[in-house]
Structure 1
Amino acid sequence: MFNTFLRENKVVAALLAVLRVYLGYAWFTAGLGKIQSGAFDASGFIQGAIANPVKGPDGGVVYAWYVDFLQSVALPNIDLFNVLVPWGELLVGLGLMLGCLTTAAMFFGLVMNFAFFFAGTVSHNPTDILFGFILLAAGANAGKYGLDHYVLPYINKAIFKKVQTQN
């Protein structure tokens, strides 16, 4: 019942648009600032997350698999991550502000939020994750008053046409 309300109500779509633009602006400005400065380097952050991982009450590392990922994948490929992080933030923000591929943008925004969380950074991530899951659960209704209104029918038509020709 609530899910139907969240996914189909026009008033909710308008409220989701406000929420979407708010989150999008935060993501966009974070990414743009990093790109414009030209000096973004995640290596210090990643080294700090490796050296000081999130620990549980027993003193054990909570996300050991994530620390392994940072050590074996992220740090050796830091040049790639130095591009992916700011451009990812910028594109997530742009997608959310414009309401274009909203659910995809929010999914990748949540992936980044959780990556920061696993590294031990709390900041505004819990709020962003809460709002992000609301937008993700709303599906296409979150982008109803945005470019998704025009883009999604085109994508659905193209996919439906492809499925029909395969059968």
Structure 2
Amino acid sequence: MIVKFLQENTIAAFLLLILRLYLGYSWLMSGWGKITGGFDSSGFLKGAVTAPIQGPEGSPVYGWWTTFVENFALPNARVINLLVPWGEFLVGLGLILGCFTTAAAFFGVLMNFSFLLSGTISHNPTDILMGIFIMVAGYNAGRFGLDYFLHRYVYKGRAAREPLGDV
């Protein structure tokens, strides 16, 4: 019932627009601050390796993530230094413009989970929750945005290419 409401209702589309704008602004400003202010992820990545989230027995809860950060992310910190700021900025832009909204929300949720797995908490859980609502809503989340026009263009083009069938 709630999924149908999120995916089909015009009131839900308006509420999702407000949610999109709020979350998008947060992502956009975070990314822009990193792009213009200089960003170095190496300290954060080293902290994720040296002080991982630990369970009651003292072993890392997400050992696979710690291994990933240590063996891939940390050696490629220069790439991460580009991906994080530009990823945040583009997620924010996509959400604000309502362009590829579901994909933007997905990548925002993915980044939030990456931050959580690395040991930071901040506002990541609420951002994940908002991102999930946007992803579940699908097209309706971008109805009041560029997705409306993209959707019309894609389906108009598809209808023109489909055969007429049996006559």
TM-score bracket for this pair, using the shorter chain length? over 0.9
1 CA distance for matches of 2:156 and 2:82?
A: 34
Tell me which residue corresponds to 2:75. 76
2 CA distance for matches of 1:159 and 1:32?
A: 37
Percentage of pairs with the same residue: 53
Amino acid at match of 2:63: A
- SS at structure 2 position matched to 1:76: coil
Query: How far off is 1:109 after superposition?
Result: 0.4
- SS at structure 2 position matched to 1:111: helix
2 CA distance for matches of 1:31 and 1:48?
A: 21
Aligned length: 163
Larger radius of gyration: 2
Alignment of 1:83-122 (within 5 A): 83-122=82-121
Tell me which residue corresponds to 2:24. 24
- SS at structure 2 position matched to 1:55: coil
Tell me which residue corresponds to 1:131. 130
Decide whether aligned partners of structure 1 residues 111 and 161 sit closer, same or farther in structure 2, where only a CA change above 3 A counts: farther
User: TM-score, normalized by length of structure 1?
Assistant: 0.92
Tell me which residue corresponds to 2:10. 10
2 CA distance for matches of 1:97 and 1:61?
A: 37
The Cα offsets for residues 31-87 of structure 1, whole Å up to 9 and x where unpaired, read as 0001011x2000000000000001112222111111111011111111111000000
2 CA distance for matches of 1:59 and 1:161?
A: 61
Amino acid at match of 1:4: K
Alignment of 1:28-43 (within 5 A): 28-37=28-37, 39-43=38-42
2 CA distance for matches of 1:141 and 1:20?
A: 11
Unaligned stretches of 5+ in structure 1? none
Q: How large is the Cα RMSD of the aligned pairs?
A: 1.5
Amino acid at match of 1:155: V
